Amino acid sequence: MSDLERTISKVIQKASQGFRVILLNGQRQVGKSTSLKNISKKSKRIYVSLDNMKFRQLAKIDPELFFYSKTLHL
């Protein structure tokens, strides 16, 4: 698993240089959330999940408010 984490981490970090938002999707239980949480702790990135239905609805209805609230940790 550590080889996979290192490989995906490098790809995500490189993508972070050119994109403000990064979406990582794939099969269940393969370490997507864990990898992103670990990367965000080491950088200025904010980890956001849309698993919470309230957050998902807010992101659909008012994306600007959704991201603003995440930057303020509301």
39/56 same-domain check: no
5/38 same-domain check: yes
54/31 same-domain check: no
What's this model's pTM, rounded to 2 decimal places?
A: 0.68
For residues 15-30, give the mean pLDDT. 88
Residue 46's pLDDT band, with cuts at 50, 70 and 90, is confident
Domain count for the chain: 2
How far apart are alpha carbons 34 and 40 in whole angstroms? Answer: 10
For residues 25-47, give the mean pLDDT. 86
Contact 16, 43 (CB under 8 A): yes
Looking at the predicted structure, is the pLDDT value of residue 61 above 90?
yes
For residues 3-31, give the mean pLDDT. 83
- The lowest-confidence range among 9-13, 17-21, 66-70 is 66-70
Q: Supply the DSSP symbol for 48.
A: -
